Structure 1
Amino acid sequence: MSNRILVFYGSYRSDRLGIRLAHFVVERFRGRGVDVELIDAKAVGLTMLDRMYKEYPKGGAPPPLEKLASQIREADGFVFITGEYNWGVQPGLKNLTDHFLEEWFWRPAAIASYSAGRFAGARAATAWHGTLSEMGMVVVSSTMAAGPIAQTLSVEGKPIGEGGKALEQAFPRFADDLLWWMEAAKMQRARKAPPY
């Protein structure tokens, strides 16, 4: 049974450090034989939310929105790579997720956070947990945190130093947790239609 994961990353900054964590997560899942794709909010380039995908007439959404809706519907699970901005979530990632609702339903999500400081984005991860739950996803209990990110992952997303070792140790449980819930949700969706 193949699994498809979308990894979402949302920084729009010029010098993006969190992309290191996104690459680390993508490469580690690929190493497990998982079909994984990075969705970079900056590359997708959605405008600030004016209309949700579902508010467009069928087939009338802008092409990037239409493509992303299809990708989300076809995925079995999601990973959200979140930086922490002033104790909160990144606006680019939040804007991307808010364009959709029903497309997210009945699939699990995992959160990997980072920051330039020692709290490693923990406050943003906490904020995302409630948001993703409200959007119809089951959020797995295992998380990963990288901080200070520049001392945890190299530019190429390779683990460095003690923080990198800790990230390497955290990944197997993080991945196992998400993959278990993905398979459970997939089997349940095949067995019985969601209630709404």
Structure 2
Amino acid sequence: MALVVPVILGSVRHERNGARAARYVVKALEARGHEAPLVDPAALALPLLDRMYKEYPAGEAPEVLESLAATYRRADAFVIVSAEYNHSIPPALSNTLDHFLEEYFWRPSGIVCYSAGRYGGVRAAMQLRAMLGELGMPSIPSLLPIPEVHKALDPDGAPLQPWLDTSAGRFFDELTWYAEALRARRSHGTPY
């Protein structure tokens, strides 16, 4: 059954390689029949966090937040695409995620991390695991690290390395399993 899986890109940098990874993820999810809206903080021009979406009076949140909230409420899972900045996550990603809370609850997340080097952003993924759990969308056990992202994906997100589709296939199989399981449980209600 089709899932709704927003893909949250964590970088706003000029000529960012993360866009390659995000495009790859969106295409891979869509090829499986899922809806994968891209959440790009550069395109959305999200404000720096002053008030969370839930802190605005009903109907008074900026339109960009209202639109994201509607997308997130439909979501069955999330994929976070993150670089590594100073052994942690990019500030734009933290800002993007922190605007919401309840909209994430009881939905799994998958972490796709990348870097220009050989570690594939895994140090950021470790920081991100703690944050995602606190937000109510715990990450699945597997990661999809993409080292040397500029050599692994072309600018349109097409894979340049044969290992990537194999690793991604297992990753998306696992994410789908968790998303379907939690969707089934949400249909019977949640603890609160």
Query: What is the TM-score of this pair, normalised by structure 2?
Result: 0.97
Partner Cα separation in structure 2 for residue 2 and residue 154 of structure 1: 27
Partner Cα separation in structure 1 for residue 139 and residue 55 of structure 2: 26
Hey, what does 1:173 align to over in structure 2?
170
The answer for unaligned runs of 5 or more in structure 2 is none
Q: Secondary structure at the match of 1:113?
A: strand
Which runs of structure 1 show a deviation greater than 2 angstroms over 4 or more consecutive aligned residues? none
After superposition, give the CA deviation of every residue in 1:40-67 in whole Å (9 maximum; x if it has no partner): 1111111110000111001110110111
Offset at 1:2?
Answer: 2.5
Q: Secondary structure at the match of 1:49?
A: coil
Higher strand share: 1
Which of 145, 160, 180 aligns to 1:183? It is: 180
Hey, what does 2:140 align to over in structure 1?
140
Hey, what does 2:78 align to over in structure 1?
78
Instruction: Assess if the C-alpha contact under 8 Å between 1:10 and 1:42 holds in 2.
Output: no
Q: Secondary structure at the match of 1:88?
A: coil
Hey, what does 1:94 align to over in structure 2?
94
Partner Cα separation in structure 1 for residue 141 and residue 126 of structure 2: 11
Q: Please give the root-mean-square deviation of Cα atoms over the aligned residues, in Å.
A: 0.9
Query: What is the TM-score of this pair, normalised by structure 1?
Result: 0.95
Partner Cα separation in structure 1 for residue 58 and residue 44 of structure 2: 20
Q: How many residues align?
A: 192
Partner Cα separation in structure 2 for residue 167 and residue 87 of structure 1: 23
Offset at 1:98?
Answer: 0.2
The answer for unaligned runs of 5 or more in structure 1 is none
Q: Where do residues 51-66 of structure 1 align in structure 2 (5 Å cutoff)?
A: 51-66=51-66
